[in-house]
Amino acid sequence: MAILKESDKKEVQKRLAVMNKTVKVITFLPESDIIVPGRRECMYCNEVKELMSDLVATTDKLSLVLIDPLKQPETAQEYGLKKDSLGFMYPAITFSVLEDDGQEKHYNIWFYGIPAGYEFATLLDDIILLSTGNVKLNKALLPQLAAINTKVTMDVFVTPTCPYCPKAVFTAHQFAYFNPNFTGNMIEASEFEELTNRWNVYGVPKTVINEKIEVEGAVPENLMLDYVKNALL
């Protein structure tokens, strides 16, 4: 069953018409939706699979790869799929790009949970960023961002109905696109309660940097970079 309406698909096609490079949408979820005691219950795995199928059907510049992290844990590990106490976190979406030299490059840009509501627009923004390389960050920040040579993980907690969350997520994702030392994770708060409770997420967006610095709200990108630097002290 299609999730995107025909009118939605046409709008997506218009948005993605600017794509240059081919983007692979890599989606992690179990093949089986049977509930097994002690295993993560995936609330929206079927919806994510259908949504990604609808999405890639809108342009030949997108392709979809489905990976079961329970059957292919080595592959999940290689990509850097995040874990909590229940094991690999899913559903999860990440991307690789077919570069001009024919090589495939994976970017540390992740969606954990369904990219619904306002976050679907972020998903499209990410795809356009990956395909065109058109970074929207303040150019004055780029030298500072490039100078960071330590691993940085930015976990951005969101809900689909939060209108301010896409800005925080896209900032983290652009940091990860520009500097491979960064990993930007969107985490849908209701789907991963263990992490949500651990970091006392009562309002969104909330960004946790290297499990050290907590940032409330969608702060400007220059201020977010300052928080990153503080997390590395």
Q: Write down the pLDDT at residue 35.
A: 67
Question: In degrees rounded to 5, what are phi and psi of residue 131?
Answer: -80, -35
Mean pLDDT on 125-134: 97
3-class SS of residue 155: strand
For the 6-231 domain, the top CATH level (class) is alpha beta
Q: What is the pLDDT of residues 13-61, one digit of tens each?
A: 999 999 999 999 999 999 977 767 777 889 899 999 999 999 999 999 9
Structural contact between residues 86 and 150, judged by C-beta atoms closer than 8 angstroms: no
Structural contact between residues 197 and 157, judged by C-beta atoms closer than 8 angstroms: no
Q: How confident is the model at residue 131 (pLDDT cuts 50, 70, 90)?
A: very high
What is the DSSP pairing of strand 92-98 with strand 104-112? Answer: antiparallel
Q: What is the pLDDT of residues 152-185, one digit of tens each?
A: 999 999 999 999 999 999 999 999 999 999 999 9
pLDDT value at 196 more than 90 = yes
Q: Write down the pLDDT at residue 78.
A: 98
Q: Write down the pLDDT at residue 102.
A: 80
Contacts of residue 12, Cβ cutoff 8 Å, sequence gap at least 6: 4, 55, 58, 124
**Residue 92 corresponds to which tokens in the numbers above?**
């999860």
Q: Write down the pLDDT at residue 186.
A: 98
Q: Write down the pLDDT at residue 219.
A: 96
**Residue 89 corresponds to which tokens in the numbers above?**
């976190």
Q: What is the pLDDT of residues 203-217, one digit of tens each?
A: 999 999 999 999 999
Of 214, 149, 219, nearest to 181 (Cα)?
149
* Partner residues linked to 186 by β-bridges: 111, 156
pLDDT value at 1 more than 70 = no
pLDDT value at 220 more than 80 = yes
User: Which of 32-41, 60-69, 145-154 is least confident?
Assistant: 32-41
Q: Write down the pLDDT at residue 122.
A: 98
Q: Write down the pLDDT at residue 101.
A: 83
Q: Sign (positive/negative) of CA torsion 125, 208, 139, 105?
A: negative
Amino acid letter, residue 81 = L
Domain positions in the chain are 6-231
